[in-house]
Structure 1
Amino acid sequence: MTNANNAILLIRRAALPALAILIIANFAGYAVFGSNGILQYGDYRRLKAERSIQLAQLEQERDRLAHRANLLDPRRADPDLAEEMVRSELGLVRQDEVVIPIAD
């Protein structure tokens, strides 16, 4: 029985350090291979470059829309833009204009 007792005692003494090593290995694995790990750094740089391009396009579109909104300000509306919008939205034509239909 002394061999069995020695084996159980050995397992009890090794259990806590083995559990600690498994926990540390788990955290180390996630630090390297996880979704926020070291190996994902290149992917983050690629995504950042894509998002920077997208941000520049959105800022350009925002500036274009802000300029168009300023042109439509009721206090100082641009007559050409107002006429263009009325014609496109309502389909209005002046009496002296000729409309030529184009077949699709």
Structure 2
Amino acid sequence: MKNNILYIFIILILLIYFIFGSNGLLKYNDLLEIKESYERQIVELEEKINDLEKRIELLKRDKDYLEETIKKELNMAKPNEDLYIILDDNETDSNGNN
């Protein structure tokens, strides 16, 4: 009878260790969630890289797209061309003013 109680106690301790221990099931589930989060971030970043690569190709090959991008992002215009800059409420100019 004492041996059975001892075996049950040992099995119970091992079970608790396998579930709650430093390398237990709970820690394993936490690590799986972290891994899935990183995998989602990798997919998002790969999509962003692909979009940027497409944009680079467009900038290299399409003169009109390059010109439009220069006008839009660098606030530049051709000679004798008027440039209007419309700021959103959230945007600020280079001096930090709205």
Gaps of 5+ in 2: 1-12, 88-97
Q: Hey, what does 1:66 align to over in structure 2?
A: 53
Deviation at residue 32 of structure 1 after TM alignment: 5.2
* Residues 51 and 101 of structure 1, relative CA distance in 2, 3 Å threshold: closer
Deviation at residue 55 of structure 1 after TM alignment: 1.2
1:84 is the counterpart of 2:68: yes
TM-score of the pair, normalised by structure 1: 0.51
From the two aligned structures, give the one with the greater helix fraction: 1
1:33 is the counterpart of 2:18: no
CA distance in 2, matches of 1:30, 1:72: 56
Among all aligned residue pairs of Structure 1 and Structure 2, give the percentage whose two residues are the same amino acid.
Answer: 25
CA distance in 1, matches of 2:19, 2:84: 69
* Residues 92 and 43 of structure 1, relative CA distance in 2, 3 Å threshold: same
Matches within 5 A, 1:1-104: 33-34=21-22, 36-73=23-60, 77-87=61-71, 88-93=73-78, 95=80, 97=82, 99=84
Gaps of 5+ in 1: 1-24
Deviation at residue 41 of structure 1 after TM alignment: 1.0
C-alpha RMSD of matched pairs (Å)? 3.2
- Over alpha carbons, which structure has the higher Rg? 1
